[in-house]
Structure 1
Amino acid sequence: METTSAALFISISLVVFGISYYYFTTRHKERMEIIERGLSPDYFKNQSNFLPMLLVLGLSSVGVALGLAVGLALCDFFPTKKFLIIGLCIFMGLGLSLIMSYLVLKNTQKKG
């Protein structure tokens, strides 16, 4: 048991290191290429906008919560298939919330 948990910890650490190394080296190469082409280094300041990501995460969380609530409410009517009903309702709520966030982002990009 201890060997398995140590191997799991090492493999997760290697995956996190590999992804972060790839992200930072790629970002550095992109920035160097942009600077070589003549853009100013101020181009990189204030370039991140987290509002669309926060909107998607918020609506997804609400969708999962509503799906769980509806699934638990439906379990009273179908007591033999609780796990299936709860799982289906959670994924249905998540899917509907992702569609809703897509439509909201599409409307905001049209206006902006």
Structure 2
Amino acid sequence: MDVTTVLVTLTIFSTIFGVVYLFLTTRNKERLALIEKGADASLFNTGKKFSFSEVVMNLALLGIGVGVGVLMGELLSIIGMNSDVSFPACIFIFGGLGLLASVFANKKYSN
């Protein structure tokens, strides 16, 4: 491995760790300050929790979308489109459509 690769990888992971750490510590300080001022603790439980089945459905539809994107990219490259363009474009388009379908499916099943 090249020194540059190691430095870039280390920088990326340390940046992600720093952002997550900063977010969690700031949220904790805000909550402690609100509790000290007498705010009700139920204030923190207002967010919607995702169920395991919703996460699985999101990942499944994303995987299906990426798979269809790979197939469509291959079909476009057979037709004559440059494969360097067709594969990423189709993967992102159909992956996004899969995630969009998962939003509507989760909304339908949650009601």
TM-score normalised by structure 2 residue count: 0.68
Letter in 1 for 2:40: G
Structure 1 position 23, deviation (Å) = 2.5
CA–CA distance in structure 1, aligned partners of residues 11 and 75 of structure 2: 40
Cα 1:12–1:81 change in 2 (3 A) is: closer
Q: Deviations over 1:27-71 (max 9, x none)?
A: 32354335842337xx76xx8434333322221121011110222
Aligned equivalents of 1:16 and 1:88: distance in 2?
A: 27
Cα deviations by residue, 1:57-105 (Å, 9 ceiling, x for unpaired): 2211210111102221332222x52222222221221122122112112
Partner of 1:93: 94
> 2:56 aligns to what?
54
Q: What percentage of aligned pairs have identical amino acids?
A: 28
- For residue 18 of structure 1, what is the aligned residue in structure 2? 18
CA distance, structure 1, for counterparts of residue 101 and residue 91 of structure 2? 15
Aligned in 2, Cα 1:16/1:95: closer, same or farther, shift over 3 Å?
closer
1:25-36 matches, cutoff 5 A: 25-32=25-32, 33=34, 36=38
Q: Which residue of 2 aligns with 1:8?
A: 8
Hey, what does 2:108 align to over in structure 1? Answer: 107
Code of the aligned partner of 2:82: K
Q: What is the Cα-based RMSD across aligned positions, in Å?
A: 2.9
Q: What letter is aligned with 2:97?
A: L
Q: Structure 1: any 5+ residue segments left out of the alignment?
A: none
C-alpha spacing 1:54/1:26, structure 2 compared with 1 (3 Å) = farther
- Equivalent residue of 1:56, what SS? helix
